[in-house]
Amino acid sequence: METCCGKTALILKIDKTVTKEMLAKFVQMGFKEEAHFTKAGILYVTNSKFTITTPFGTTRLQIKCKSKNCDNDLASLEDAIRLM
pLDDT tens, residue by residue, 55-76: 999 999 999 988 777 888 888 8
Identify which of 57, 38, 48, 54 has the alpha carbon closest to the alpha carbon of residue 77: 48
Residue 81 makes CB contacts below 8 A (sequence gap 6+) with: 1, 12, 14, 61
CATH number assigned to the domain covering 2-82:
3.30.310
Cα–Cα distance measured from residue 17 to residue 10, given in angstroms and rounded to the nearest whole number: 18
2 pLDDT band, cuts 50/70/90, is very low
**pTM, entire model:** 0.87
Q: For the chain, what are the domain ranges?
A: 2-82
Among residues of the chain, what percentage have pLDDT more than 90? Answer: 64
Contact by Cβ (8 Å): 56, 42 = yes
